[in-house]
Amino acid sequence: LAVEVMADSNQAWPTVEIVAATFCTILAYVLRLRSFAVSHCAAFRLETILRTQLSEHLAKVSMGYIQQFGASKLSKVIQDDVKELHVFVADSTPLYARAYAAPIMTLIGLLILDWRLAAVTVGLLVGGFLVLGIARRDHGDLSKRYMETREQVSAAVIEYVQAMPVVRTFDTGTSTFGRYSEALEAYREIVVNWYRSVSFSSRFSIALLNPMPTLVLLLWAGAWLFWSNELEFSTWLATLLIGTGMAESMMPLISLQHLIGKAKISITRINNVLSEKPLLQPDKEYVPQGCDICFDNVSFRYTEDSDYVLRNVSFSTGEGTITALVGPSGAGKTTIARLLPRFWDVNEGKITIGGVDVRSFTSENLMQYVAFVFQDTFLFAQSIADNIRLGNPNATMEEIVEAAKVAQAHEFIMQLPNGYDTCAGERGTFLSGGQKQRITIARAILQNRPILVLDEATAFADPENEASIIEALAALMKGKTVIMVAHRLTTIKDADQILVFDKGSLVESGKHCDLISHDGTYARLWSSYERSQAWTFNSESQTSSVCSSALLPDEELFGVAEAISGNLSVEEA
């Protein structure tokens, strides 16, 4: 209209249209800003909701699933896939408007102005999309493989960093680093092949879908129609002004398709984790009658296709008693300790606490009854006080200090640079094994649960801190029902009952003095253990001990090996 007015000075200015156009332009800017703010807020909320949901869900599934899935893969889902959805939600809303609303409005405008020029523009863009289709023919498959190789790279990096002490000791990084470089190489290969296979078609399609070819075509076709007197000059000019609107929307459209593709893959992976069945939770709360524990004909295997690691295990422990589990390596002692808090559910039989099947407890309720101290202590990269406070989030500082004192940890904590505020480092790296152990004991003291599971809790005891750890454990165990796995036979001598396991079966049970008087597995373990107490390594006797051990029967070898793994002194008398 403006062009026509300029060409014919007798016409009045289209004031209404100009005001409307100005208003629409300002409105478009305001809405764009608003959509940016709304979509980013929604994306942050989604990110928080999904991460919370995933972490809560992981706390409910079996440990077996988490182990099989792998920490690096899980962290990729929680971090990267959730981030991918954030990007999708934040960026797709404005893109949707630019990718769909703008070309439709442009097409309507072009059809009103001149249908032939509209057809020419649409034809060019259709051609561009056909070429793009060729470029994206294997896109789904390739991007899946791309994601997989990226996952392998991040798993290899995590393994490389976590295993750094082993890496440095054994292979100066060459073979472990080799796995990382193989993963990187596979990743590079996928990217290069992908680039090669789509390079020409994607560049050509992008060239066609750019505004410039549309403009050139509209110029050429418009000029031809204009000189054939089939097109008004003002109409031609107007098509040139709005005609590229469709082409300008093509890049947002392609970006949107790309975002949708990536988001779909991430959604599938997040759904895979969320669809893993949580451990069964009961419909109602059952209250146990006491804290005695009973394993009733329990059989268990870690995976469907593996062998049973526990077979028909039955035993019971009285409330407030100490039960020790002993046996050769791989006998199933740790597995028993981990079935009680439902890290896994049994395949056959049942485990009861106070007469109630552990599967009839909700996870939260079960945790009110059971506390653990494992050999593999885990401290978070936060202050020592916060690490102890995990046992009871409401504990006051006085209660934390009191627990640390009972756990024989207070003294060494006070010698740390910032006392209770000292950061334990990632996984507690700034502390020794024995110190970490005493902090986890302090944590368990704060928890004050009636049932206590100890798995190799004295594993890190050296002569210097052994007495402290044992004293700490004695304080922790007072009045509780205790199940403890221990290699140090001295620590379990006074247990109310000792259960001896071999190859997943319970082979003997009783008190130390009863078991020792029978010529059974325990008696043999004990005599090997006692003999091993009298041995030591020195430059001469080391050779003789190795030679002697080569002549020992299996059980005795077990005793020596156990003694060594338990840091015991092996000295020839």
Q: Pick the binder of ligand ATP from 152, 334, 440, 468 (CB under 6 A).
A: 334
Which string of DSSP letters, residue by residue, matches 278-294?
Answer: PPP--SS----SSS-EE
Structure tokens at 119: 């057809």
Which amino acid makes up residue 378? Answer: F
Considering only 152, 205, 244, 335, the residue that binds ligand ATP (CB under 6 A) is 335
Q: Which residue has the tokens 């182990």?
A: 67
- Indicate whether 528 belongs to the interface with ligand ATP (CB under 6 A): no
Quick note: the x/- pattern for ligand ATP over 23-52, rule CB under 6 A, is ------------------------------
Q: Does 181 bind ligand ATP (CB under 6 A)?
A: no
- 334 backbone dihedrals φ, ψ, rounded to 5°: -65, -35
Q: Is 491 in the site for ligand ATP (CB under 6 A)?
A: no
Provide, for the chain, the percentages of residues in helix, strand and coil under a 3-state DSSP scheme, each rounded to the nearest 5: 65, 10, 25
Cβ-based nearer residue to ligand ATP, 140 or 330:
330
Give bridge partners of residue 356 from the DSSP assignment.
Answer: 353
| Nearer to ligand ATP among residue 330 and residue 425 (C-beta) | 330
CA distances from 366 to 315, 353, 372 (A): 20, 9, 12
Q: Binding segment for ligand ATP among 8-16, 238-246, 322-330, 348-356 (CB under 6 A)?
A: 322-330
Among 128, 245, 288, 332, interactor with ligand ATP by CB under 6 A? 332
202 vs 505, which CB is nearer to ligand ATP?
A: 505
| Measured CA distances, 272 to 43, 65, 69, 142, 324 (Å) | 21, 12, 11, 20, 40
- In the complex, what is the shortest distance from the CB of residue 329 to ligand ATP, in angstroms, rounded to a whole number? 3
> Nearer Cβ to ligand ATP, position 178 or 330?
330
> Is 548 exposed, middle or buried (CB count within 10 Å of its CB: 0-12, 13-18, 19+)?
middle
CB of 298 to ligand ATP, least distance (A): 13
Segment near ligand ATP (CB under 6 A); pick from 123-131, 148-156, 195-203, 324-332:
324-332
Which residue do the tokens 């409401």 mark? 394
CB closer to ligand ATP, 270 vs 336: 336
In order, the DSSP letters of 443-510 are HHHHH--SEEEEESTTTT--HHHHHHHHHHHHHHHTTSEEEEE-S-GGGGTT-SEEEEEETTEEEEEE
- Find the binding residues for ligand ATP in span 455-484 (CB under 6 A): none
Phi-psi region of 290 (alpha: psi -120 to 50; beta: other; left: phi over 0): left
Please tell me whether residue 349 adopts helix, strand or coil conformation. Answer: strand
For the bound state, the minimum distance from the C-beta of residue 31 to ligand ATP, rounded and expressed in Å, comes to 55
Taking the C-alpha atoms of residue 120 and residue 101, their distance in angstroms, rounded to an integer, is: 20
Q: Which is nearer to ligand ATP, 48 or 329 (CB)?
A: 329
Q: How far is the CB of 164 from ligand ATP (least distance, A)?
A: 23
Whole-angstrom distance, CA of residue 570 vs CA of residue 563 = 7
DSSP β-bridge partners for residue 481 = 451
Residue 341 interacts with ligand ATP (CB under 6 A): yes or no: no
Query: Which has the closest alpha carbon to 109: 126, 91, 121, 97?
Result: 121
Binding pattern to ligand ATP, positions 290-319, x when CB under 6 A? ------------x------x----------
**How does DSSP classify residue 100?**
I
Nearer to ligand ATP, 62 or 202 (CB): 62
- Which residue, 291, 264, 304, 329, is CA-closest to 501? 329
Comparing CB distances to ligand ATP, the nearer of 190 and 482 is: 482
Helix axes 115-135, 174-209, angle to 10 degrees: 160
Smallest separation, CB 346 to ligand ATP (Å): 14
- Draw the binding track, 255-294, toward ligand ATP (x: CB under 6 A; -: no contact): ----------------------------------------
What value, to the nearest 5°, has the Cα angle with vertex 55 and ends 273 and 399? 155
Phi-psi region of 428 (alpha: psi -120 to 50; beta: other; left: phi over 0): left
Q: Is 333 in the site for ligand ATP (CB under 6 A)?
A: yes
Decide if residue 330 touches ligand ATP (CB under 6 A): yes
User: Does 103 sit near ligand ATP (CB under 6 A)?
Assistant: no
Interacting span for ligand ATP (CB under 6 A) from 16-24, 226-234, 331-339, 538-546: 331-339
Instruction: Find the shortest distance in angstroms from Cβ 327 to ligand ATP.
Output: 6
Helix (H/G/I), strand (E/B), else coil: 331? coil
Count of positions on this chain that bind ligand ATP (CB under 6 A)? 11
- According to the binding rule CB under 6 A, does residue 323 interact with ligand ATP? no
Q: Which is nearer to ligand ATP, 128 or 328 (CB)?
A: 328
**Binding to ligand ATP in span 215-244, by CB under 6 A:** none
Chain residues 54-93 in contact with ligand ATP, contact rule CB under 6 A: 67
C-beta of 323 vs 334, nearer to ligand ATP: 334
Of 84-92, 192-200, 326-334, 405-413, the segment contacting ligand ATP by CB under 6 A is 326-334
Distance, CA of 495 to CA of 511 (rounded, Å): 7
Applying CB under 6 A, does 331 fall inside the site for ligand ATP? yes
| CB closer to ligand ATP, 333 vs 449 | 333
CB nearer to ligand ATP: give 338 or 410.
338
Say how far apart CA 209 and CA 254 lie, in whole Å: 10
Query: How far, in Å, CA of 476 to CA of 316, rounded?
Result: 21
Please identify, among the stretches 85-93, 118-126, 170-178, 333-341, the one whose residues bind ligand ATP according to the rule CB under 6 A: 333-341
Residues found near ligand ATP in the complex (CB under 6 A): 67, 302, 309, 327, 329-335
